[in-house]
């Protein structure tokens, strides 16, 4: 099965949804090829954090602080139910472009570890609240998976794969993707499109129906 998904490392629902989908795939004993495509929620964010995610949330959506914290607390509770102990409100917002470039590079050069690296970056951002725009952080996460530190550092210090990230983001616009996470699951001649972070069991039911040919609608709305 080939799974293509648009996501961003600053999106908690992308982390939650991917975790659920991966668990569904594993529990169904399926082999999957994963391809992440970038969808930057904060494309003008800086490499050095200026505000907490809570502050940015208030500014972006125009809600008062009490409502913002309530929404973020609810997201943390949902994640915790799935075993993800995220700290959303204290996350320091930074640009995710380097992280997306790194994933594009690894999917091309080191595909076997790319999904593991995706999860490590999500974890670094949402659980450890590290600065994932920092090259040192990304190099450390990559080397923990066995990649060569000099190789990754030299890559990140260049502008390589920046154009590829832009192309993927433009492709999302052409495809009509307006929100993330957004998944395209491909099995033989069948394709299942899932916008949103579905529950794990719902993912499992949809995947089983797709494989068996019993899925009437190829898109969940």
- Name the pTM for this structure: 0.93
21-29 CB contacts, 8 Å cutoff, 24+ apart? 21/183, 21/198, 21/200, 21/203, 22/115, 22/119, 23/200, 24/200, 24/201, 24/203, 24/204, 24/207, 25/1, 25/207, 27/200, 27/204, 28/204, 28/207, 28/208
Q: Is the pLDDT of residue 73 over 60?
A: yes
Q: Are strands 182-187 and 2-7 parallel, antiparallel or unpaired?
A: antiparallel
- DSSP annotation of 111 reads G
What is the percent of the chain where pLDDT is above 70? 97
Mean pLDDT, range 92-111, rounded to an integer: 96
Is the pLDDT assigned to residue 34 strictly greater than 60?
A: yes
DSSP 113: G
> Which tokens is 21 given?
């989908």
């Amino acid at each position: 099965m080939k799974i293509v998904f648009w996501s961003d490392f600053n999106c908690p629902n992308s982390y939650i949804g991917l975790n659920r989908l991966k668990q569904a795939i594993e529990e169904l004993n399926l082999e999957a090829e994963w391809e992440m495509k970038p969808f930057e929620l904060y494309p003008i964010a800086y490499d050095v954090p200026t505000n907490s995610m809570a502050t940015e949330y208030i500014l972006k959506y125009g809600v008062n602080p009490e409502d913002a914290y309530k929404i973020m607390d609810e997201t943390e509770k949902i994640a915790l139910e799935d075993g993800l102990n995220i700290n959303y409100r204290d996350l320091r917002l930074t640009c995710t472009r380097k992280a997306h470039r790194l994933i594009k590079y690894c999917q091309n050069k080191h595909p076997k570890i790319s999904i593991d690296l995706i999860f490590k970056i999500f974890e670094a951002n949402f659980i450890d609240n590290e600065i994932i725009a920092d090259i040192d952080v990304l190099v450390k996460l990559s080397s923990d998976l066995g990649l060569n530190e000099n190789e990754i550092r030299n890559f990140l210090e260049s502008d390589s794969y920046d154009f590829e990230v832009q192309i993927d983001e433009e492709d999302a616009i052409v495809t009509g993707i307006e929100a993330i996470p957004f998944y395209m699951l491909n099995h033989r001649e069948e394709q299942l499109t899932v916008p949103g972070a579905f529950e794990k069991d719902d993912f499992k039911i949809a995947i089983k129906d797709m494989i068996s040919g019993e899925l009437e609608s190829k898109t969940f709305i």
